Amino acid sequence: MKLSRISAIAAVAMTMPLAVVGEAAAQNEQFIPSLVYRTGAYAPNGIPFANGVNDYMAMLNDRDGGVNGVKIVLEECETGYATDRGVECYERLKGKGPTGAAAVSPLSTGITFALTEKAPADKIPLLTMGYGRSESADGSVFSWNFPLLGTYWSAADILIQHVAKKGSLKGKKIVLVYHDSPYGKEPIPVLQDHAKKHGYTFEPIPVTHPGVEQKAVWLKIRQGRPDYVFLWGWGVMNSTSIKEAAAVNYPRDKMYGVWWSGAEPDVLPAGDGAKGYNALALHPAGTVYEVHKDVFKHLYDKGKGMAKRDEVGHVLYNRGLINAMLTIEAIKTAQAKFGKKPMTGDQVRWGFENLNLTAAHIKALGFDGLVSPLKVSCADHEGARKARIQQWDGKQWVYTTEWIEADTKYLRPKMEAAAKAYAAEKKIEARNCAKQS
Amino acid sequence: MGPFIEVVLGGLLAGVLYSLVALGFVLIFKASGVFNFAQGAMVLFAALSLVRLMSGELSAVHYWGAAAVLGVAVGYVLLLFWRRARPAAAPGRGASWGLIGVFGLIGAALAALHGTAGWSGWVAIPATAAIMGLLAVAIERLVLRPLVNQEPIILFMATIGITFFIDGFGQTIWGSEIYTLDLGIPKDPMFLLESVFEGGILVNKLDIFAAAIAGVLVAVLAVFFQKTRIGRALRAVADDHQAAQSVGIPLNQIWIIVWTVAGFVALVAGIVWGSALGVQFSIALVALKALPVLILGGFTSVPGAIIGGLIIGMGEKLAEVYLGPVLGGGIENWFAYMLALIVLLFRPQGLFGERIIERI
Q: What is the pLDDT of residues A153-197, one digit of tens each?
A: 999 999 999 999 999 999 999 999 999 999 999 999 999 999 999
Domain membership of residue B239 (yes or no) is yes
Instruction: Judge whether residue A1 has pLDDT over 50.
Output: no
Write down the pLDDT at residue B10. 87
Distance CA B215, CA A318 (A): 47
Q: Do A39 and B204 touch (CB under 8 A)?
A: no
Closest chain A CA to residue B17? A213
A10-20 tens-digit pLDDT: 555 555 554 55
DSSP H or E run through A206:
strand A201-207
Of B204, B282, B332, Cβ closest to residue A236: B282
Residue A377 has pLDDT above 70, yes or no: yes
So what's the pLDDT on residue A394?
94
Alpha carbon of A243: minimum distance to chain B alpha carbons (Å): 8
- Tell me if residue B247 falls in helix, strand or coil: coil
**Structure ipTM:** 0.82
Distances (CA, A) of B302 to B35, B225, B237, B298: 15, 10, 17, 9
What is residue A2's predicted lDDT score, i.e. its pLDDT?
A: 47
DSSP strand pairing (A255-257 vs A278-281): parallel
Question: Which pLDDT belongs to residue B13?
Answer: 87
In this structure, is residue B50 part of a structural domain? yes
Torsion of the alpha carbons at B265, B266, B268 and B272, rounded to the nearest 10: 140
- Per-10-residue mean pLDDT of chain B, 360 residues long, equals 86 88 85 85 95 91 93 91 85 88 94 90 94 92 86 91 93 88 83 79 85 85 83 79 82 84 90 87 84 88 88 92 85 87 84 72
pLDDT at A419: 97
State the DSSP string of A339-360.
Answer: -SSPPPHHHHHHHHHT-EE-HH
* Assigned domain for B132 exists: no
Encode burial over A44-62: b for 16+ CB neighbours within 10 A, e otherwise. Answer: bbbbbbbbbbbbbbbbbbb
Domain A153-281 has CATH 1.10.443.10: no
Find which of A39, A215, A244, A311 to mutate to test the B interface (most B CBs within 10 Å of its CB): A215
pLDDT at A112: 95
- What are the residue boundaries of the structural domains of chain A, listed by start? 30-150+288-375, 153-281
Alpha helices in A70-131 (DSSP H): 83-93, 109-115, 118-122
Determine, yes or no, domain membership for B139.
Answer: no
Q: Given a cut of 60, is residue A24 above it in pLDDT? A: no
Percentage above 90 pLDDT, chain A: 87
DSSP class of residue B328 equals: T
Please tell me which residue of chain A has the smallest CA distance to B180: A269
CA separation for the pair B33, B27 (Å, rounded)? 9
Q: Report chain A's mean pLDDT, rounded to a whole number.
A: 93
Rounded to the nearest angstrom, the minimum Cα separation between A401 and chain B is 29
What per-residue confidence (pLDDT) applies to A331?
A: 98
Nearest CA-CA partner of A111 in A234, A256, A284 = A234
B308 in any annotated domain: yes
Are A249 and B189 in contact (CB < 8 Å)? Answer: yes
The range of the structural domain enclosing residue B321 comes to 2-54+149-189+201-346
Of B180, B281, B289, the CB nearest to A41: B281
Predicted pLDDT of residue B57: 86
Pick A274 or B351 by higher pLDDT.
A274
B103 sits in which H/E element: helix B93-114
8 Å CB contact of B277 and A236: yes
User: Residue A383: what pLDDT?
Assistant: 96
pLDDT in tens, A135-158: 999 999 999 999 999 999 999 999
Q: What is the DSSP letter of A230?
A: E
φ, ψ dihedrals at A283, nearest 5°: -165, 165
| Whether A222 contacts chain B with CB within 8 A | yes
Radius of gyration for chain B, computed over Cα atoms and rounded to the nearest angstrom? 22
* Interchain proximity B316–A216, CB inside 8 Å: yes
Return the amino acid letter for A199: G
Cα separation, A18 vs A332, whole angstroms = 29
pLDDT of residue A10: 54
Q: What is the mean pLDDT of residues A344-371?
A: 97
Domains A30-150+288-375 and A153-281 share a fold: yes
Q: Which residues of B257-278 are buried (b: 16+ CB within 10 A; e: fewer)?
A: bbbbbbbbbbbbbbbbbbbbbb
Higher pLDDT pick, A14 / A28? A28
Q: Does residue A180 sit in helix, strand or coil?
A: coil
User: Does the residue B174 lie in any domain?
Assistant: yes
Alpha carbon distance A185, A242 (integer Å): 20
* Nearest to A70, CA basis, from A297, A295, A356, A334: A334
Summarize the confidence of residues A387-393 as an average pLDDT. 97
What's residue A5's pLDDT? Answer: 54
Domain A30-150+288-375, CATH class in plain words? alpha beta
Residue B11 lies in a domain: yes
DSSP B319: I
Cα B166 to Cα A52, A404, B281, distances in angstroms: 28, 46, 11
Contact B147, B155 (CB under 8 A): yes
The answer as to whether B63 is a domain residue is no
Q: According to the model, what pLDDT value does residue B282 have?
A: 86
CB of A173 within 8 Å of any CB in chain B? no
- Tell me, yes or no, if A204 comes closer than 8 A to chain B by beta carbon: yes
The answer, yes or no, to whether residue A3 has pLDDT greater than 50, is no
Q: How does pLDDT run across A192-221, given as a tens digit for each residue?
A: 999 999 999 999 999 998 898 898 999 999
> Does the beta carbon of A210 lie under 8 angstroms from any beta carbon of chain B?
yes
User: Number of folded domains in chain B?
Assistant: 1
Handedness of CA A365, A369, A371, A375 (dihedral sign): positive
B350, B299 in Cβ contact below 8 A?
yes
